[in-house]
Chain A
Amino acid sequence: MIFRISRSCFSSISVKLPSFKVHHLELDQLPQTATTTSAELLAYYKSMQLQRRMEIACDNLYKQRLIRGFLHLADGQESIYEGLHAGLTFDDCVITAYRDHCIALLRGDTPHQIIAEMMAKQTGSTKGKGGSMHYYKKATNFYGGHGIVGAQIPLGTGLAFAQKVSQKAKCDFDHVW
């Protein structure tokens, strides 16, 4: 059912979710609809725009040779990071490979810190010692930032294992791309 959208930020819509094929899950236990507000949607949009601007800025800096080495950008994939972020808390662990700028942003680094890192400044997220592929933040359970393809898979399994054993079972997300 769709409500008339007014200019009030308390207006909301209900969206019917697509039906996915599931594996090891009960389809009838999954939600069929999601509700959101225009304020929430605008917040997502603003965040995704920030991700886009940041990635395009890095692209330009790289072409000017102010960022060196490897650069793996996520412009075009912002909605995936945003959607994942919307469903998680900072108690949930996240780990990825080397396309990590936007996760670093969503997990607490500022664009200044992220770009400074790639420009090899001491003010960078990892003091210029890591670079594009090595962002981390323990405080928000973000475990990197890994350059070796596939390494993040068993590492992420280990994070889930550690949470389960510590009985802090939350959620772990391993980005595969």
Chain B
Amino acid sequence: MLRIVHKLRSGFAKMTVREAINSAMAQEIERDSNVFLIGEEVGQYQGAYKVSKGLYDRFGKSRIWDTPITEAGFTGLSVGAAMYGLKPIVEFMTFNFAMQAIDHVINSAAKLHYMSAGGLRTSIVFRGINGAAASVAAQHSQCFAAWYSQVPGLIVLSPYDCDDARGLLKAAVRDPNPVVFLENEIMYNEAFEVPDNVMDKDYVIPIGKAKIMREGKDVTIVTFSKMVKFSLLAAAELEREGISCEVINLRTLKPLDRTTIIESIKKTHRVVTVEEGWGQCGIGAEICSVINETNAFFHLDAPIVRVTGADIPTPYAFNLEELSFPKAHNIVEAVKLVLK
């Protein structure tokens, strides 16, 4: 492995989310000869966003496959290879481009195990940037969490920090099902301290289990990916005003960890959901419905508040883009609303 992990003190190291994903892929490709990485610029260019830096030099062209700009082609090829028994990691430069290949994700991969009555399966990971970046405008900024989370047969994961990125990606590669792994470009550069055990080559996080990032008693904030950061910032600000927030990092979007959410509601009685994507039929909408359908509903002291992206295609202008997606202050306002 490249010397990308900076030792801070005994037992801990500091790394960026980019390095976390890179190291997880490197370890899985090393571990299992059936695993390979495929996508645009993943090899000789070292990755469009440098996430696969060093992998081509280390593993060569038989394990790291550069492709032409043809998502439908290389995604279909990867699903076919997975049907035969290989374990592809398919990198989409962003999930916006994956729409060119979504038929293979859904119809060729996700539904296959069921349609074949268990005869065929695909152990495949589809990973890449999801959601807004910076000034990349409408066609390059969509969050696809809700779309993929709806599909039976898919596992959908979305990491926040390095711990999530390493543990979830390794779990995804080792899982026999098709997994959609939604990363975030802004989070790539964020650095976190990680304990040594997270760097272990067999460090995996259970799929389907959310993580409580911060315990609290007044309100539950349910969120994932970059919005975890803003939720934690909001919680810190609210703490100064005497409001105690419990922040749940979903980690897995499908299957959703209902138990952790319900147990938290029994404690706090109020819920705010936060997502970057559009509100209609979103992750927050699903959480509202799940709570409504379970006994957690009777533990609520107020209606659930959703914080979501604005219902518009993402504008280019920086000031308009800032207004289009939730920030910490939006989450603070939502918490105060639910407490009113």
Q: Which residues of A are at the interface with B, using a C-beta cutoff of 8 A?
A: 93, 95, 125-127, 129-130, 134, 136-138, 143-148, 151, 153-159, 161-163, 165-166
Contact = CB atoms under 8 A, between A and B. Distances in A.
A27 to B, nearest CB: 30
Given A162-B85, A163-B84, A155 B76 contact: yes
Contact of B104 (A93, A154, A163, A166): A154
A158 B84 contact: yes
Given A134-B116, A137-B119, A162-B85, 14 more contacts: A129-B117, A136-B120, A143-B120, A144-B112, A147-B107, A148-B108, A151-B108, A154-B104, A155-B80, A158-B76, A162-B80, A162-B84, A163-B84, A166-B84
B103 A148 contact: yes
Nearest to B75: A154
Nearest to B121: A138
Interface of B: 36, 62, 72-86, 103-104, 107-108, 112, 114-117, 119-120
B115 A129 contact: yes
A138 B76 contact: no
Contacts, number: 94
Contact of B117 (A126, A155, A165): A126
B2 to A, nearest CB: 25
A156 B103 CA distance: 15
Q: Which 10 residue pairs of A and B lie closest in terms of their CB atoms, listed nearest first?
A: A158-B80, A154-B76, A162-B84, A155-B80, A158-B77, A162-B81, A126-B117, A127-B117, A158-B81, A136-B116
Contacts of B76: 151, 153-155, 157-158
Contact of A144 (B62, B73, B104, B120): B120
A14 B325 CA distance: 74
B84 A93 contact: yes
B83 A143 contact: yes
Contacts of B81: 158-159, 161-162, 165
A165 B34 CA distance: 9
B119 A138 contact: yes
A165 B76 CA distance: 16
Q: Most chain-A Cβ atoms within 10 A of its Cβ — which of B79, B86, B114, B119? A: B119
Contact of A126 (B62, B75, B119): B119
A151 B104 contact: yes
15 contacts: A126-B117, A130-B115, A134-B116, A136-B119, A145-B116, A154-B73, A154-B75, A155-B104, A158-B79, A158-B83, A159-B80, A162-B80, A162-B85, A162-B86, A163-B84
A156 B73 CA distance: 11
A143 B107 contact: no
A134 B108 CA distance: 11
A126 B116 contact: yes
A157 B115 CA distance: 21
Contacts of A127: 117
A155 B122 CA distance: 12
A143 B112 CA distance: 10
